[in-house]
Amino acid sequence: MNRLRLWLLAVGGTGLAALLVAACLDLPRFGGRSHPYGDRAVHASLRRHIANTIASVNFDQRAYDTLGEMSILFAAVLGCVVLLRQTRDEHRAPPEPAEVARPVRRYALLVLPVALVTGLYVIAHGQLSPGGGFQGGVVAATALHLLYLGADYGALERVRPLGVYETTDALAVSSYVVLGLAGLLAGTAFLANTLLPYGTFNTLSSGGTVPLLNAAVGMEVAGAATVLLAHFLDQAVEIEDATEEEPGK
Amino acid sequence: MSHAMDVLPYLVAAYVFLTGCYGLATSRHLIHAVGCLAVCQSATYILLLAVGYRAGGTAPVFSDIEPGSRPVVDPVVQALTLTDIVVGATVTALLLALVLQIAKRHGTVDPDELRELRG
């Protein structure tokens, strides 16, 4: 059985490898000069005073796709929350306060505010410098979890009221849709970046609706990452199988 | 010599993809399989970024360079890569949650031992 499977894998893998190599040889030369879509994206971005072209592609030219991307993230978080819920035969035990080595504690508590501010900075400067809502949101959410490394799970739970983050997540997705609908009410298209003045190039308020959409995504990603990590950590730290616990007690 | 360099990044992407496929097919542990899927997905990042590269290009961010003064790499594929990473992360999270459920319900994470469906 296993032999057969390996043979099948070898045959299929060789075939796929041959096709992939043939396809690679036919692709445009690496580092070539012709990038028609890229050139047009750069022009469109500069016309709307957005310094970071990738933010322009994500939140202006492809803002509708980003709505889909946000919905995927939201749906995935929802799925994880449902899959990782506490079932009837499990019970929740508050984790024991943990001993943390002093250097680890000191370093984690020192870095936490720096990491948090860095995350917020990356979100706020999404349309100016590399980064944006997706990247900054993850940095901000993981910064909070330094508390778990530096102190213990109880300390993290005290600064992380889960309901607030779940609400933030949902509100951020809604606000993205509302910003899109605002364009519709103003007489243009859904999520069209013609609502607000484009501002001065290379300043925080430049780019029309891009900074607002970027902030909405940042909020959503920060909320989503926190909720996801919270449910996985709950499984690892707090929720216990009742059947395994009984004999010991 | 220079012709090899023209296709090498694409071949690296193909190699990474096939490595991930091999890992997926021979996996003995579901978490390992999820990791292999992530390897497959990273091949697509390499492919996208390789397609968008322009010789001598820099990042398409104009906060510190004058527009038009230097060639920039293709921003469209970079945005696609970002989308790719976000979708990859959500898929990994969902799959890991499913693995946790399987481990709880079936008591095993070896795909070969998960033969029949159980309610």
- Tell me the per-residue pLDDT of A126-170, one tens digit each, with 9 for 90 and over: 989 998 899 999 999 999 999 888 888 888 888 888 899 999 999
Give the CA distances from residue A98 to residues A111, A129, A147, B59, in Å, rounded to whole numbers and listed in that order: 20, 40, 12, 45
Q: Which of A29, A54, A231 faces B78 most closely, judged by CB atoms?
A: A54
CATH 3.90.1640.30 for domain B2-113, yes or no, is: no
Contact B75 A84 (CB under 8 A): no
CA B119 – CA A81 distance, rounded (Å): 21
pLDDT band at A245 (very low <50, low <70, confident <90, very high): very low
Asked if B90 has any chain A CB less than 8 Å from its own CB, the reply is yes
Asked if B28 has any chain A CB less than 8 Å from its own CB, the reply is no
- B44 three-state secondary structure: helix
Among B83, B96, B104, B105, most A C-beta atoms within 10 A, so best to mutate, is: B83
**B76 alpha carbon, distance to own chain's centre:** 17
In chain B, domain spans? 2-113
Mean pLDDT of chain A: 88
Give the CA distances from residue A137 to residues A12, A107, A142, A169, A187, in Å, rounded to whole numbers and listed in that order: 40, 22, 9, 11, 32
Contact B7 A27 (CB under 8 A): yes
In chain A, domain spans? 2-248
Residue A64 has pLDDT above 60, yes or no: yes
- Tell me the per-residue pLDDT of A182-201, one tens digit each, with 9 for 90 and over: 988 988 888 888 888 888 88
Q: Is there a contact between A204 and A211 (Cβ–Cβ < 8 Å)?
A: yes
Q: Is there a contact between B103 and B111 (Cβ–Cβ < 8 Å)?
A: no
To the nearest whole percent, how much of chain A has pLDDT over 70? 96
Quickly count: other Cβ atoms within 10 Å of residue B83's Cβ: 19
Asked if B65 has any chain A CB less than 8 Å from its own CB, the reply is no
